[in-house]
Amino acid sequence: MEDLLAAELESLGAHGIEPTVAGAGFRGDLATAYRVCLWSRLANRILLPLSQTRAESPDDLYRAMQTIDWSQHFGTEQTFAIVFNANTPHLRHSHFGALRAKDVVVDQFRINCGERPSVDTEQPDILINVHWRREQLVISLDLSGHSLHRRGYRLRGMAAPLKENLAAALLLRTRWPEIAAGGGAFVDPMCGSGTLLIEAALMAADIAPGLLQQDFGLLHWKQHRPELWQDLREQARRRRQDGLAQLPPLRGFDRSRKTLQAARENIRRAGLDDYIHLEACELAHCTPPARSHGGLLLTNPPYGERLGEEEQLQQLYHRLGQVLKNRFQGWQAGVFTARPELAQQLGLRALKIHSLFNGALACKLLHFDIAPRWYRQPQRFPRPLPATQRSAQAEMLQNRLRKNHKRLSRWLRREQIQCYRLYDHDLPEYAFAIDVYQGERCWVLVQEYQAPATVDKDKARQRTREALGVVLDELDIPPEQLYYKLRKPQKGREQYQKIMSSGEFHTVCEGGHRFLVNFTDYLDTGLFLDHRLTRQLIQSLATGKRFLNLFAYTGSVTVYAAKGGARSTTSVDLSTTYLDWARRNLELNDIDGNTHRLIRADCLQWLEQAIRENMRFELIFIDPPSFSNSKRMRQTFDVQRDHVALLSQAARLLSDDGVMIFSNNRRDFKLDQEALRSLFEIENLGRRTLPEDFRNNPKIHHCWRLRPARAGW
């Protein structure tokens, strides 16, 4: 930041500027020093050197401190403290040096005045800075009195990812003052406590960053000129008033309402609550201000230093890239990150990169021009290893893929199957599921089962890269047709939750029907491959029947029922997204009309209503989630706990000669046949409906045919 600081000092009237490591020296009159204290957006402290000398021993330090008449700078009624920084072979302990310097000041006052000032290390009136580097000793008065990054608008105890002066540096690096002067807007889509937004507003409105701060070290200095200081502050207040009238739109987003509340408090303390718009929403829903014509989007995404966050961060950066390309074309953008390797997920080429430190953390500021010529395909997965860099075990994986394909190929041709599972954790070293989807092109989805914490992360990463390289080689597909996901143990309806917002759909074929699949936005693709035979069973049973699909998901089973000649279909699901997906699947197969209803409702509540309305169906399919605690549901649902009640309710909608197909994918599920025996004749179809490509993992799929018991109910 030294070059930025030097340019700022020049703009504030300083001369003789000499950039140094992490700072800059300058010359000027007292008005210049005051102006820098009030207006510097980058400096931490403004130090007035009182003595600069050569020192090779603690005695030299003592003599240098003695040469300064401290009574010219403060009195015995005031408090003081010493900040001592030493990097010299001539002093072993900085604490000893600080005590030595303090003793000099105290002894001088006691001898000359008969009393001594007190030391206050928390809030001293006067702060003396001693800097001893090698043989160079500089003793200074701290005119700022505190770190100038503390503007006064943020509570000290509040955690923040960026210091205010670092935020200002990022804004200067991304040319925000020029963009704001041209009428450009500012957006931070992950604004946190609002530091970037506030600094952007201060900069664009020509507001002195020190105007909010009431206490400076210079105010307690004996040589302070109050009239000069007040005149400079009054000028700054007038400039603030004029600048706010010209302020361009500023907008901040964050998914956390609690975080946004903290941002609102900070913005209020900065006096900017009428000028900055905040909105609680997911990253995917961020939009530019209305009627804005370009501007700057600058953000500091999470760094994700905790174990297991890698996949979420990749998804976050991918989502950010989609937002930039879909919503902010024509804008400039900056992404400040400690994880620059994740920038590949943005799908944008960085035009410039600056290196900065956030505390002790090395970071990069990536600059982007959001224009199609800079778009590139985001890397959706870890970089595959070429064959020359793979281990001998990788050859075992390649041989297994070849063997599996040979074993399945005749069956695939005979059954005309185009979407199938090629590999499922066959080798313990490679915990992957590999699925092939055939449409206008061949797409491959590689899902890695998350390794336990006991597995070395580097080894796990190596095997992932090996596996991806093997898949590309063995299946002979380009990288853009390969998708990768990390599967973790799921809770509730997490398997249905959105993880990206690419909106990237592909059309695939199965059983003579066409379906939309999405390999990026959700944990599952929209077409459960292990349900292939179950869907075929529904089609064979559907002719002339009124069909009910509870927990309909993307409606693939409804498509099979309609194509099987169902008299009508009713598909019920709580998710608007999945019902829209189901509608598109129906349209893709030329299925339309009033006889095919899509109903958005909590399936459990809808059952109660359907019973009251005396609805009847000859064919019912129920494939519920293992667990659901959606906020839109009246109560939680657990398939093991609640399946008897669910099936008992559904039985009241089933005609006397009807059939119900019940399935689920909870591995440890046990059907309570004793409780259901009075209602149904039960036939286990688990083995019959388990496809050939899932035979080595039978626990993945449960399925039963339920008919009304002869005794009635």
What are the structural domains, with CATH classification, of the chain? 164-211+246-374 (3.40.50.150), 387-489 (3.30.750.80), 508-708 (3.40.50.150)
At 88 the pLDDT is 81
At 451 the pLDDT is 80
307 closest CA partner among 192, 450, 446, 494: 450
At 500 the pLDDT is 52
Which residues face 421 on adjacent strands?
435
CB atoms within 10 A of CB 405: 16
Q: Supply the pTM of this predicted model.
A: 0.62
Q: Do the Cβ atoms of 65 and 105 come closer than 8 Å? A: yes
Length of the chain: 713
- Looking only at the bridges linking them, the beta strands covering 276-280 and 250-254 are parallel
Tens digits of residue pLDDT in 262-311: 999 999 999 999 999 999 999 989 999 988 889 999 999 988 755 446 66
At 713 the pLDDT is 42
Q: Please give the Cα distance from 486 to 461 (Å, whole number).
A: 12
CA distances from 357 to 170, 342, 364 (A): 11, 18, 8
Which residues face 464 on adjacent strands?
none
At 492 the pLDDT is 44
At 97 the pLDDT is 82
Mean per-residue pLDDT pooled into runs of 10, the chain (713 residues): 93 92 92 96 95 89 93 95 86 82 93 93 93 90 93 71 93 97 96 95 96 92 96 96 94 93 94 95 92 93 66 85 94 94 88 92 94 79 86 93 95 94 93 93 92 82 92 92 79 48 83 93 90 97 97 97 97 94 96 92 94 96 86 74 95 96 94 94 95 88 91 43
Tens digits of residue pLDDT in 564-623: 999 999 999 999 999 999 999 999 999 987 899 999 999 999 999 999 999 999 999 999
Three-class secondary structure of residue 535 per DSSP: helix
Q: Please give the Cα distance from 101 to 130 (Å, whole number).
A: 8
- Looking only at the bridges linking them, the beta strands covering 627-628 and 250-254 are unpaired
Question: Which amino acid makes up residue 104?
Answer: V
